[in-house]
Structure 1
Amino acid sequence: MQLGLLAVALLSNALSALAGGGAGLVQLPALILMGLPFPVALATHKVASVSLGVGASLRHAQESSLNARLSALILLSGLPGVWLGARTVLALPPQLSTLLLGLLTIALGVYSACRPQLGASSGGQSWTTERLALGALVLFAIGFLNGSLTSGTGLFVTLWLVRWFGLDYGKAVAHTLILVGLFWNGTGALTLGVQGQIAWSWLPMLLIGSLAGGYLGAHVALRQGAALVKRAFELLCLVMGCSLLLKALS
């Protein structure tokens, strides 16, 4: 079982670091299938996913990938949403939420695929006060989803950074992995850990796999460039969206 946990964490977090989100596609359902009830699996996944941010940070820090102003906006806007979402997760109707999340995730992948030049290069957007305000509001909403539904919301942040703030996919993924993976997920893990239980005996292998997978995925993304990251993002959106629909309708 421990080797299985390591393999699941390594695969899911490497894919997430490459595509800019989606570790919960593999890791969270796997924890549930291996015997953890949903609240415990969610809290355990959140704690383990912090290592994804650590692993990705170690690799992206060597490239100076982050914009300080945008990073501050992501943290100040998203963290309150994460906290609020994690506080209210048990009050949400899970089947409907999962269905809507699946449809939205598929829409993200289709939207990106239909626009070949989207995220091919950085720039092209002026960061006016109005643009920053709306950008912050959407980041707060995504943060709420991150705290409450967890699976795939990093993909939302990645596409929002590309579409609204004009980043290319490579830079958008770097911001998502470090700021969402490390700080948003850390806030969610702390909040859920206080509310519920964490499967501590499952964490060592999950943490090791998340750390190694995050570093590996970030390394491949930096080496291969924005084009491969964009394709990985679109593919993972479609696969994860279909998976969520099947889960909601089953």
Structure 2
Amino acid sequence: MNWTEQLLLFLISLVANAFSAFAGGGAGLLQFPALIFLGLPFGVALATHKVASVALGVGATLRHVRERSLEWKFSLFILATGLPGVVLGAAFILDVPDWIARIALGFLTIGLGVYSYLNKALGLEHAPIHRTRRGYVLGGFVLFMVGVLNGSLTSGSGLFCTLWLVRWFGLDYRRAVAYTLVLVGLFWNGTGAITLGMLGEIRWSWLPALLLGSLLGGYLGAHWSIVKGNRWIKRVFEAVTILVGLKLIV
């Protein structure tokens, strides 16, 4: 790639990951289509995007760790239930036509934003619930399915995780976004990147600009989410879910 294309990649990555870190998902809304538009085949673009997304988790982690808003036992639960799904989804996606799943997921993702908008108080207060054995079993199963989406698709999985943590476990948006960015962005995406890298191809020469944009965007977005608070995060989450859903459909 020439310097102009590298600069374009950096700017796209910076903007996409800043919004993703603020809303709790959706980096693939801009970044993944840009890789295809610039000439990468689907499988190569997916693997390259996953590697770059790990830097989003790193940047967000650097900011959120300072707030100490993560419970380590709950973090381990999210990792234990989601990571097997990530490996399963990444292992099968390269051989499976997914346009039907994308359209269905697009409508479902739009539904997330509409649901959040209609529930005005959702995610504005931190009130943990469903911390029982039954609650963890059902919550963990859904996180496993979200992990499958994370490993197999490019957009929306982080948004699903954010809203599920808010709706089922009673987190406010700020805490839910922190868990999503640190655990999904860093560990789930890292596992998906390793799996896709082993089974497919990564375009390493494109990564410097993508990694730098993801790292800076992740830090900036995480900082804004902490400063602005739950009501702003809720609104941006609703906007990003609708845009991601439309992107998946169109």
- What TM-score do the two structures reach when normalised by structure 1? 0.97
Alignment of 1:133-152 (within 5 A): 133-152=137-156
> Once the 2 structures are TM-superposed, how far is the Cα of residue 151 of structure 1 from its aligned partner?
1.2
Paired position in structure 1 for 2:232: 228
> Once the 2 structures are TM-superposed, how far is the Cα of residue 92 of structure 1 from its aligned partner?
2.6
* C-alpha distance after superposition, 1:110-152 (max 9, x if no partner): 0000000000111151411000000000000000010011311
Paired position in structure 2 for 1:30: 34
Paired position in structure 2 for 1:98: 102
SS in 1 for 2:30: helix
> Once the 2 structures are TM-superposed, how far is the Cα of residue 244 of structure 1 from its aligned partner?
1.2
SS in 2 for 1:118: coil
Paired position in structure 1 for 2:68: 64
Q: Does 1:41 align with 2:45?
A: yes
Counterpart CA distance in 2 for 1:237 and 1:176 is 15
Paired position in structure 2 for 1:129: 133
Unaligned runs of 5+ in 1: none
Paired position in structure 2 for 1:190: 194
Q: Does 1:84 align with 2:118?
A: no
SS in 2 for 1:140: helix
SS in 2 for 1:7: helix
Counterpart CA distance in 1 for 2:111 and 2:60 is 26
- What TM-score do the two structures reach when normalised by structure 2? 0.97
What value does the CA root-mean-square deviation take over the aligned residues?
0.8
SS in 2 for 1:36: coil
Counterpart CA distance in 1 for 2:89 and 2:244 is 21
> Once the 2 structures are TM-superposed, how far is the Cα of residue 245 of structure 1 from its aligned partner?
1.0
**2:130–2:168 Cα contact (<8 Å) kept:** no
* C-alpha distance after superposition, 1:165-221 (max 9, x if no partner): 000000000000000000000000000001111111100010000000000000000
Question: How many residues are aligned here?
Answer: 246
Counterpart CA distance in 2 for 1:92 and 1:65 is 38
Paired position in structure 1 for 2:182: 178
Counterpart CA distance in 1 for 2:161 and 2:221 is 17
- Which shifted more, 85-94 or 101-110? 85-94
> Once the 2 structures are TM-superposed, how far is the Cα of residue 91 of structure 1 from its aligned partner?
3.3
* C-alpha distance after superposition, 1:66-94 (max 9, x if no partner): 12221111100000000000000023322
Q: Of the candidates 158, 162, 172, which is equivalent to residue 158 of structure 1?
A: 162
Counterpart CA distance in 1 for 2:235 and 2:74 is 24
Unaligned runs of 5+ in 2: none
Closer, same or farther: CA 124–185 of 1 in aligned 2, 3 Å? closer
Alignment of 1:234-245 (within 5 A): 234-245=238-249
SS in 1 for 2:170: coil
